[in-house]
Amino acid sequence: MEFQTPEWVERVTSTNTALLERLAGGESLPAGSVLAAREQTAGRGRGQHLWHSEADRDLSCSLVAPAPSDPLRLPSLALAVALAAAAALRDLGVEARTKWPNDVLARGGKIAGILPELAPGARPPVVVVGIGLNVNMSRSEAARIEPPAASILSETGRTVPVPQVLDLLLQALSPRLADWGAGGFEALRAEWCDCCLGLGREVSVVDGASRRRGTLSGFGPAGQLLLTGADGRTVQVWSGSLVLS
């Protein structure tokens, strides 16, 4: 997948919201369009979580990707983007790993999150994918966030220009989104299993008031988590927050 030159704006509530509103208003935004904000004041994560980034400190961006014809393929889009984010971070010296379904961690601290959202009524159908990545957040500020956070600065001791991080991210995204578009999760399975945390370990999955515990025994053909209980039965989990034991 090829990306257009990123469009940078000074300040926005949410890059995802901005792109979704533009698409809803009839603007033509082809796949590969990228919007990045120097400051994001009300970014959205999964559930009710917020992702705020101060001016010129962290990366907040959203991209437009083609919606898959098979809706079961959509959940694995976040996995493809998480793999790209982890690869870009490793290029910058960060020991980054993925956590199902849409997080990237560095030494246990969350350093990046992904939020894909279908654009209602867009023709052709597209998905807007939001990416938040902590770049120059200080170590002391990262330590005050709950759950624990991390940044490129906290992990390497170096400040990095945010546009440079976006360029590396898009370079890592291009082949992985192409593979995902052609083969879905199966095209990324080997890399995902090598990069993800928790495989083969006791974990919990929290989804609202529900909490399931078992062994993360693998992933299904669409990237759904396979959780094996003490009774030996395996269930498919399509959504929720993974808690590593």
Residue 237 sits in a domain whose CATH number is 2.30.30.100
Residue 179 pLDDT: 97
Instruction: Residue 231: count other Cβ atoms within 10 Å of its Cβ.
Output: 7
The answer to the question of residue 2 being in a domain is: no
Ranges of residues in the chain whose predicted pLDDT is under 70: 43-53
Range of the domain at 231: 198-244
In a shared domain, residues 54 and 161: yes
In a shared domain, residues 127 and 25: yes
Domain-ending residue, one of 176, 194, 212: 194
In a shared domain, residues 123 and 188: yes
| Residue bearing tokens 């945010």 | 162
- The residue type of 167 is D
Residue 233 pLDDT: 98
Give the Cα separation of 154 and 138 in Å (integer): 6
In a shared domain, residues 101 and 222: no
Q: 1-55: per-residue pLDDT in tens?
A: 999 999 999 999 999 999 999 999 999 999 999 999 999 987 665 544 555 567 7
The answer to the question of residue 156 being in a domain is: yes
| C-alpha distances in Å from residue 196, one per residue of 79, 87, 151, 210 | 10, 12, 19, 23
Give the Cα separation of 68 and 29 in Å (integer): 17
CA angle 25, 131, 59 (to 5 degrees): 105
Domain-ending residue, one of 194, 213, 235: 194
In a shared domain, residues 143 and 236: no
In a shared domain, residues 178 and 209: no
Residue 51 pLDDT: 54
